[in-house]
Chain A
Amino acid sequence: MELTCLSKGDGFHYPPCHMLNLCGFRILIDCPLDLSAIKIFSPVPSGVGSEASEYLSDESLDAQNPIQKKQKLERQLTCADLVCEEPWYKTVKALHLWEASFIDIVLISNPMGLLGLPFLTQNPGFFAKIYMTEVTAKIGQLMMEDIVSMHKEFRCFHGPDNSSFPGWIKNLDSEQVPALLKKVVFGESGDDLGSWMRLYSLDDIESCMKKVQGVKFAEEVCYNGTLIIKALSSGLDIGACNWLINGPNGCLSYVSDSIFVSHHARSFDFHGLKETDVLIYSDFSSLQSAEVTEDGCISPDSDNNYISTISDNKDSLLNTEDSLEEMEKLAFVCSCAAESADAGGSTLITITRIGIVLQLLELLSNSLESSSLKVPIFVISSVAEELLAYTNTIPEWLCEQRQEKLISGEPSFGHLKFIKNKKIHLFPAIHSPNLITSWQEPCIVFASHWSLRLGPSVQLLQRWRGDPKSLLVLEDGISSGLGLLPFRPIAMKILQCSFLSGIRLQKLPTLVSVLQPKIFLVPDAVNQRISLAAIKTISILNYFENKTLHVPRIVDNPSVEITTDLASKLSWRKLRQRESFGIARLKGGLLMEDGKHRLVSGLEQEESSGKARPLRHWGSVAPELLLDALLKMGIKGSIEQSTGDNGSEDKSIIHIENPNSGLIEFSEMGTAIITGDENVVSQVFQAIDGVLDGI
């Protein structure tokens, strides 16, 4: 097996991407899109005034200090630095180095891992089989359609441009351009240029989704009779999964960003991942988490702490501490929104994680219902209506509490009744005809996109940014750097939320000791942060981004299953020398079925006489015994002992005299029959079988 990590990704919205070589099949796991990179583009402006003045003031500042040239290079980023063009989208760079037609299987773990797939399926040579859960397919498709529809706005603004080369990149390749911007465009090593792509169209999405085979959790799908692939719930979001791949050379599990206990999605499935031969751990979320980045590295003391908490009991992973913390975060967002509404300010929520949105909607409407506040909730997205309706028809994919709701006949998520009583309003776009009639401020608005470049969030942010009573709820990491740049100065209150999006580092040792893989593949960067030495029973291998790791096979020999009716037809030979052995030559055809080698009686092969006699012999022949055997068949001969030319080799020869002349030579290595008479040969063979073991 070979593993190549193509990208370690960056948080929830940009999951890692791997290429796997298993049993000769090339498997791509996830095909994400680095949507945070579109921050380098300028959003479609609603009014031009403010930006221009800001830009001018910066310019004049520069003019005042013409001497400080160096400082000019390091100057503050301004809106003017952003690219004012129709955006391009950044894909996984290393993926372009692989020939698309050589990929056999694509596994998509969650909707975010699907966003880049149309780029791959556009390739005329692409013929891989694509697997993902049905829900990932549906939600992912809606997300892609939403991006395309939001992107349309740029096309309207900038006009059509069909050039296949991103012209805007030329302007960025100068000394003047701030390093932060350059890093996003060209990457750390400066060679990311090829990863920028023009956005796909609705047709591309459609043709991509046609190639997808949707699966259920724990459904076994068989690829090419060889690999049995199973999606197991990862708990990250609705429909998100880890993978289990069973093949003739053992089984492999792939664990991506996972959440053990979820309040919306089906929880992490431990059971199916247990005791695999190889476990690929691909949860990089711990590298993003604040507790690590703040103090840089973890002290040895805390390491010991982690070790002491290792237990083989999965209950310690399933404690509700994390999920309670997540609920508190959600409740806090709600209370902040209520507070600003109380003060007459509106709330703009740009979070698009579907699970979070659904829970927030439920919490917000419930808390508004119970309070005296009469604040409407708007959800503005081209796919909001379909998405919200869809999430109430997939109870099988949700956590147990929500499944209980199905049993008692309630909808899985509470938004349904609020939509019906017009507490929640759904609009496909900000310019929807009915929006203005029901619009009322203060209000709470869910609007995509989290990158603050696409969609209705841009216009709303431009509308409210000067209002100190209003609240902006952001995904983690957006406020720094380029994110809010086009909207500064900003007077709104900003709430930046970091939701759990993977396995906490402290829980990793326990997880590993619960799952007990034979070989554990872990990103080097993760392994550096936590000591896994305490887990002794398994071998741990580190892998690096863009390096191929070879993993030795651990299953000794693949198993072959032989049908009983075939086995009963085999002709068994008893061995003279070794009584405890029985041997038989095989028949039938060898098939690959359900990931297993299977020997079945095939087309009845011609029983040629040749196959009935032994083709391989072992042991040694005593010439005297053979001569006796020949005599019984009526062949006469005599033995001649001869020493070889150099005297060391002992040779015996039987001269056959009757019925025809012939010679049998014996040596350590074997027996040679020298004659031109077929009958004599077959008789000698018979005699040899009488004294020698063979098959």
Chain B
Amino acid sequence: MAIDCLVLGAGQEIGKSCVVVTINGKRIMFDCGMHMGCDDHNRYPDFSLVSKSGDFDSAISCIIITHFHMDHVGALPYFTEVCGYNGPIYMSYPTKALSPLMLEDYRRVMVDRRGEEELFTTTHIANCMKKVIAIDLKQTIQVDEDLQIRAYYAGHVLGAVMVYAKVGDAAIVYTGDYNMTTDRHLGAAKIDRLQLDLLISESTYATTIRGSKYPREREFLQAVHKCVAGGGKALIPSFALGRAQELCMLLDDYWERMNIKVPIYFSSGLTIQANMYYKMLISWTSQNVKEKHNTHNPFDFKNVKDFDRSLIHAPGPCVLFATPGMLCAGFSLEVFKHWAPSPLNLVALPGYSVAGTVGHKLMSGKPTTVDLYNGTKVDVRCKIHQVAFSPHTDAKGIMDLTKFLSPKNVVLVHGEKPSMLILKDKITSELDIPCFVPANGETVSVASTTYIKANASDMFLKSCSSPNFKFSNSTQLRVTDQRTADGVLVIEKSKKAKIVHQDDVSDVLHEKNHVVSLAYCCPVKVKGESDDVDLIKQLSAKILKTVSGAEIHESENCLQIGSFNGTLCLKDKCVHRRDISSSSEAVVFLCCNWSAADLELGWEIISVMKQNM
């Protein structure tokens, strides 16, 4: 059996995450994102690779969306409403609640402000979201008889999950985007130790290793503080959900502590509305926030106000959170156009900016002018600050997670090719796990686990339930437990395999047991030296010395070790007496028999006894 992992998006790049995994005949689509840096047909994953005929319902068992970012959910309305997928879609509760906001906001930005052709409508979004089934963390969902999925906390943004999927004995985890460290409002990713055939991990920061976040937080606060203290305006372009709340918590807190009266604005009602959701979904935030929540809801920001368009040219300092992030379009870009020429002002860019956006241009190098989409140029004289804390895990986090889960294979997606290849080498060499970095449209096939199932007899399980350690110290002490070796796997054509205890095999085969045993009447001592009871004691002491771990039962004139039975032989002519037929008068014999199973043990004892002669 094999697991096929077809990468439709985010292969060796960041954007339009979409991976289709086939496990034992079940096909799951993880994420269905849109590329923010593309304007052409490339913005969507190439769905035709999933089904040429376009019959997606039979081609895909279910879709699972890990979080509400556009590069993970952006293509969903298109796929369900335009391509016509009608099967089940799973998301966490926050993702289900917040995705429509994000989609609608994005649609508006694209259509109203950039004047693009509409890719999906508001109705599309609404109809699409109706098909979504909300899931809670750790809840085990039986999608159909064979397919089981489960979500784990991923940090990253509110409601972000990693997804575990299992079909038969084969299991995989798709991480989506995740964060291995706790931030101000979200916890760190948390997952059980699972047995996995494949781990599909994001690798945004495949080579970066970050230290403590506190110096970087301080840097950001100081940059903003310096700007407003100098009478400048600070623009923080961010998406309505996620970084906006994180940075706002940070600023709100700092404003309180430093007693700063400069206003903090949110550009759209969206963020205010989003805070409403955050308040309800408090159970998805960090432990710290959850504890504080009883007394004060941390998403009730004290210093935050709504922004009005007229305030763009208002005098005096301010801080503005404007959507969308990455300065890719919309209001944030408009404000940027007005504020960028002043050297007093500051643009703080949180998170990652996709290639092709203005944000990306600002981050890579120090441009003095920037081309906007419609051809206008803007002089950039303001300060640019890159907020260096990100809700993505760093390379160490990826390695830690991979090591913790110890999957049989790793596939890296959602990263930049050069650094992904470095991480791939690291995973292969340090963890000894095969690792793949497929490009878009490529398929990776790995073997999957299957178990052979057999019914076990009670006798076998019983004999296995009590430890049966054997100690041997030939060169060094070894402890072995041979319990399972008493079991025999029996396969009969066209029947389920059975496991029985070795004593029951003949019954299963409808045969009679045939015992193969050994017997030997062994000379042990010259007659007349001491009496017989002492002799047995003497012998057992000697046997104990040479045969390690022997459990000897002695009685008046016999001794027993395992299946080995020795009795003082009083017969003159025992049939078991071999090769020493002559001296029977003068010698004491021990008549021994033992089973074939204790063959070696028997000979060891015999040789001890022969030495006694």
Interface set of A (CB-CB < 8 Å, partner B): 134, 215-220, 230, 271, 386, 389, 392-396, 403, 406-407, 409, 411-412, 556-564, 567, 570, 575, 577-578, 580-590, 597-599, 603, 605-606, 610-611, 613-621, 660-663, 668-678, 681, 685, 688, 692-695
Contacts and interface: CB of A to CB of B under 8 A. Distances in A.
Interface string B555-575: 000000000000000000001
A672 B518 contact: yes
Given A220-B140, A406-B280, A671-B515, A676 B506 contact: no
Contacts of A661: 578-579
20 contacts: A216-B138, A386-B294, A393-B283, A407-B96, A407-B97, A411-B280, A557-B458, A603-B480, A605-B485, A616-B513, A617-B513, A618-B514, A663-B575, A669-B513, A669-B515, A673-B519, A674-B519, A676-B520, A676-B606, A693-B509
B429 interface: no
Nearest to B483: A590
A412 B449 CA distance: 43
Given A406-B93, A598-B451, A618-B514, 7 more contacts: A216-B139, A407-B100, A616-B502, A663-B575, A670-B515, A674-B518, A685-B599
A392 B485 contact: no
A564 B606 CA distance: 42
B282 A618 contact: no
B509 A581 contact: yes
B257 interface: no
Contact of A673 (B169, B502, B517): B517
A559 B453 contact: yes
A561 B452 contact: yes
Contacts of B314: none
A598 B486 CA distance: 16
Contacts of B150: 220
A584 B491 CA distance: 9
Interface residues of B, number: 82
B294 to A, nearest CB: 6
A564 B280 contact: no
A643 to B, nearest CB: 16
Nearest to B169: A561
A564 B277 contact: no
A618 B507 CA distance: 10
A411 B280 CA distance: 7
Contacts of B486: 586
Contacts of B575: 663, 674
B470 to A, nearest CB: 9
Contacts of A575: 509
Given A216-B137, A564-B451, A618-B506, A406 B516 contact: no
A585 B517 contact: no
Interface of B: 93, 96-97, 100, 129, 134, 136-142, 150, 169, 273, 276-277, 279-283, 293-294, 449-458, 461, 464, 472, 478, 480-493, 498-499, 502-503, 505-506, 509, 511-520, 522, 575-576, 578-579, 593, 596-597, 599-600, 603, 606
A581 B491 contact: yes
B139 A620 contact: no
Contacts of A215: 138
Contacts of B96: 407
Contact of A562 (B276, B279, B454): B454
B487 A619 contact: no
Nearest to A606: B480
Contacts of A219: 137-140
A17 B484 CA distance: 40
Contacts of A583: 488-491, 505
Contacts of A614: 596
Most buried by B among A386, A586, A599: A586
A615 B522 contact: no
Contacts of B461: 558, 597
Given A562-B451, A586-B489, A590-B484, A681 B514 contact: no
Nearest to A396: B136
Contacts of B282: 393
B455 A688 contact: no
Contact of B280 (A393, A663, A676): A393
A584 B578 CA distance: 36
Contacts of A230: 140
Contacts of A271: 142
Contacts of B596: 613-615, 617, 685
B502 A394 contact: no
B484 A675 contact: no
Given A407-B96, A581-B492, A676 B578 contact: yes
Nearest to B458: A557
A695 B489 CA distance: 10
Nearest 3 CB-CB pairings of A with B: A670-B515, A561-B451, A618-B511
B520 A564 contact: no
Nearest to B294: A386
A394 B502 CA distance: 56
Contacts of B491: 581-583
Contacts of B464: 590
Contact of A685 (B134, B279, B480, B516): B516
Nearest to A577: B511
A617 B514 CA distance: 5
A394 B136 CA distance: 11
Contacts of A675: 518, 520, 578
Nearest to B100: A407
Contacts of A218: 136, 139-141
Contacts of B493: 580-581
A381 to B, nearest CB: 15
Nearest to B479: A603
Nearest to B1: A564
A411 B579 CA distance: 97
A621 B514 CA distance: 9
Contact of A580 (B492, B505, B520): B492
A662 B578 contact: yes
